[in-house]
Amino acid sequence: MKKKLNFMISLLLILALSVSVFITPASSYDNDEVTSSYAILLINLNTDTVAYSQMADKYWIASGMSELMTYILLTEKVKDPSSVSVKVDEAFIDDLPASDDCLKQFVGETLTLKDLAAIMMLTSGSDAAYLIADTVSNGDIPAFVKEMNTRAAELGCKLTSFLSPGSNSTRRHYTTCEDIAVMYRHLMHDPLYEEIMSSPTYIPSKYGDDETYAVTTVNSIMNPVSPYYFRYVTGGKYSFDKIAGASLAVTTSYKEMEYLFVALRGKNKSEENVFADARRMTTWAYLNLSDRKVIDTDKSVYTATVNADWGAYDIPLYADDSAIKTLPNDYDLGKFKVKMEIPEALTLPLFKGESVGDAVISYDKEVLDKVSIVPDHDEGVSMLNDLGRFCGYALAKTFPDTPADAVKEAATEPQTQTATEPATAAKTIKKKPAATTATQTPTAAGEVEE
């Protein structure tokens, strides 16, 4: 009981004064925003926190979102897409199930796979997707589609089925917001993709600055001349189909906080559309959520009993990461609960950083995450360590009235006391710095009033 109490006190003190993030049920983060899309997913990318989820695990027609996987296979199979040239053949386009005319101005011309990738991603160009698949697969598009599905499963997509490399409005061509997020996160840091997303327009290099051949994004939230433009957007993929509706995957960045917004079956009306949904939900997140450090890795959070051949003794245990979590600004400290899942007694040998159990963290009766609890050193694997522990154990048994400090000094691995003071600063466990709370509403000139 004392061990658990010490851990809870340490955790709550840290929570009260520091900063951090993680995956949390959306019901913990209630909001009053009105959206029109059927399925929505909003993820804090700094901390992998699901800030909002609405039917995100329900499948719907994928339409042109299959082009995310077409792009992934292209970049995985072709080392330098700019070095491979492809002729835009009119007969090839005429034989497609349907044409969206994204390559109309280039018929008879030669483009690179890089050019085709840019056209596909900016315009949701289905014709470009088919030509990429045909080129990469040496003319075997069905084999390419089969590999799309295999690769999607390998990446972790759970409910996705593609029938074509480009747009398709049949019900057997489907995916979920969760699966779109998996694919998008896999490609979003690809250098070529970042280059494509750096501008709302693209001109194939062979044409220089000739705007006659410029391709402009159909993703209005990225286009400065659109009434739906949102200046905090850093990249995205949009698709619209009369049957499937609008689909969107878009990233935003504000004050070092990054969010991924995904929507399926969105509307395409002036005020009710996926772009408005994206702006509303990400703005809400920036203003109402921030990062909290819930467990400190530098201080012991639990004292465990270890069974050695010659007796039992205690060692301190630590959280294996800083457990940085995204939480509402007005979160209720009293709703946090921590449950330690650690065996009554540990058996040697123990190794530094190797999990011996978990700290299960919940908020408002919903499990948020599990943080591994680990030793901060090897235990029971060296003669010197064993000798020190044994001497301390023997001294305590022989002279039971010996002060505890003297017993500790006999061991080569001194005990670390349970944390009783809050951490003074969050130590980020990712490459990017911990985010800070947004203090003003992101706004952009020319946005549609909501």
Number of domains in the chain: 2
Can you count the helices (H) and strands (E) in the chain? 11, 19
For residue 342, the Cα-to-chain-centroid distance in whole angstroms is: 28
Residues 193 and 216 in one domain: yes
Cα distance between residue 368 and residue 337, in whole Å: 10
Cα–Cα distances (Å) from 101 to 74, 96, 121, 127, 314, in that order, read 21, 11, 14, 7, 71
Token pair, residue 195, equals 């280059």
Give the pLDDT of residue 442.
Answer: 39
Residues 282 and 317 in one domain: no
Cβ neighbours, 10 Å, residue 339: 14
Give the pLDDT of residue 348.
Answer: 87
Lowest mean per-residue pLDDT among 1-10, 264-273, 425-434:
425-434
Q: Which of 289, 311, 326 is the last residue of a domain?
A: 289
Strands 324-328 and 289-293: antiparallel
Q: How confident is the model at residue 371 (pLDDT cuts 50, 70, 90)?
A: confident
Q: How confident is the model at residue 397 (pLDDT cuts 50, 70, 90)?
A: low
Checking if the pLDDT of 376 tops 80, the result is yes
Checking if the pLDDT of 273 tops 50, the result is yes
277 within a domain of the structure (yes/no): yes
Q: What percentage of the chain exceeds 70 in pLDDT?
A: 78
Checking if the pLDDT of 71 tops 50, the result is yes
Give the pLDDT of residue 430.
Answer: 32
Please state the pTM of the whole predicted model: 0.74
- pLDDT tens for 321-350 read 656 778 888 877 778 788 889 998 998 889
Looking at per-residue pLDDT, the higher value among 33 and 162 belongs to 162
Residues 260 and 406 in one domain: no
Cβ neighbours, 10 Å, residue 110: 12
Lowest mean per-residue pLDDT among 109-123, 140-154, 310-324:
310-324
172 within a domain of the structure (yes/no): yes
312 within a domain of the structure (yes/no): yes
- pLDDT tens for 48-62 read 889 999 999 999 999
Question: Residue 400: which residues within 8 A CB-CB, separation 6 or more?
Answer: none
Lowest mean per-residue pLDDT among 25-29, 175-179, 294-298:
25-29
Residues 255 and 312 in one domain: no
Residues 104 and 173 in one domain: yes
283 within a domain of the structure (yes/no): yes
Cα distance between residue 419 and residue 269, in whole Å: 55
Cα distance between residue 449 and residue 271, in whole Å: 8
Residues 281 and 312 in one domain: no
Residues 139 and 209 in one domain: yes
321 within a domain of the structure (yes/no): yes
State the CATH number of the domain containing residue 80: 3.40.710.10
Strands 357-363 and 366-374: antiparallel
Q: Decide: 126 and 98 in contact? Cβ < 8 Å.
A: yes
Residues 214 and 335 in one domain: no
Instruction: With both helix axes pointing from N to C terminus, report the angle between 113-123 and 126-136 in degrees, rounded to the nearest 10.
Output: 150
Q: Which of 410, 425, 444 is the last residue of a domain?
A: 410
Average pLDDT score over residue span 246-253: 97
Give the pLDDT of residue 372.
Answer: 87
Residues 375 and 285 in one domain: no
State the CATH number of the domain containing residue 301: 2.60.410.10
Checking if the pLDDT of 32 tops 80, the result is yes
What integer best gives the mean pLDDT of the chain? 82
Give the pLDDT of residue 27.
Answer: 41
One DSSP character per residue, 105-162 reads: GGTTSEEEHHHHHHHHHHHT-HHHHHHHHHHHTTT-HHHHHHHHHHHHHHHT-SS-B-
Give the pLDDT of residue 365.
Answer: 79
Q: Decide: 305 and 346 in contact? Cβ < 8 Å.
A: yes
Q: Decide: 11 and 337 in contact? Cβ < 8 Å.
A: no
Q: How confident is the model at residue 297 (pLDDT cuts 50, 70, 90)?
A: confident
The domain of 47 spans: 33-289
Residues 214 and 133 in one domain: yes
Q: How confident is the model at residue 18 (pLDDT cuts 50, 70, 90)?
A: very low
3-state secondary structure of 387: helix
Residues 47 and 8 in one domain: no
79 within a domain of the structure (yes/no): yes
Checking if the pLDDT of 163 tops 60, the result is yes
Residues 200 and 333 in one domain: no
Beta strands in 187-256 (DSSP E): 201-202, 215-216, 233-241, 245-254
430 within a domain of the structure (yes/no): no
Average pLDDT score over residue span 69-79: 97
Q: Which of 289, 305, 327 is the last residue of a domain?
A: 289
Give the pLDDT of residue 400.
Answer: 62
25 within a domain of the structure (yes/no): no
3-state secondary structure of 4: helix
Checking if the pLDDT of 84 tops 70, the result is yes
